[in-house]
Amino acid sequence: MDYEAFDAQLLELADSLRGADEPTVAAEIVRLKALAGQIADERSRRLALIRAEKLPEFISGPKPGTSPQYERASTLLGQALADKRSPLERIAHAERVKTEIAALSRQAPRRESMTILRMNSSLVRLIERLRDGSDGST
């Protein structure tokens, strides 16, 4: 067993266990730890053991933010994605929102900073679609 194979199995398992009860998840953690113990490289083995313990987090996904910065960024993102103006106006709006979200991520609590910043990936894709003439509407 190597780390890459372990990690792929962990992520696949996390997807398949959505909605599973606690005893099932606990049993899978024990099984994953046994698999992690088979990894030859000590550093990779330790990392795999840590990730096995985090299985419940992988199943539930990231927790939504609670800071005012997260709330504001979510609102801004929603407004930009729902914008129905011309493509050029939408691009300009999305660019402004992208800048504001980046600023909000710098002001946010550390635990939410990267989550907020990742909201910009949706805006980048929107801008690319609008520039390509394919705004994603059907």
d(CA 46, CA 53): 11
Sequence ranges of the domains in the chain: 3-60, 68-132
Q: Is-contact 10 52, C-beta < 8 A?
A: yes
Q: Residue 113: how many CB atoms within 10 A of its CB?
A: 18
Q: Is-contact 1 38, C-beta < 8 A?
A: yes
d(CA 28, CA 59): 12
Residue-by-residue pLDDT tens, the chain, 138 positions: 889 899 999 989 998 998 899 999 999 999 999 999 999 999 999 999 999 999 998 888 767 789 999 999 999 999 999 999 999 999 999 999 999 999 999 999 998 998 899 999 999 999 999 999 855 453
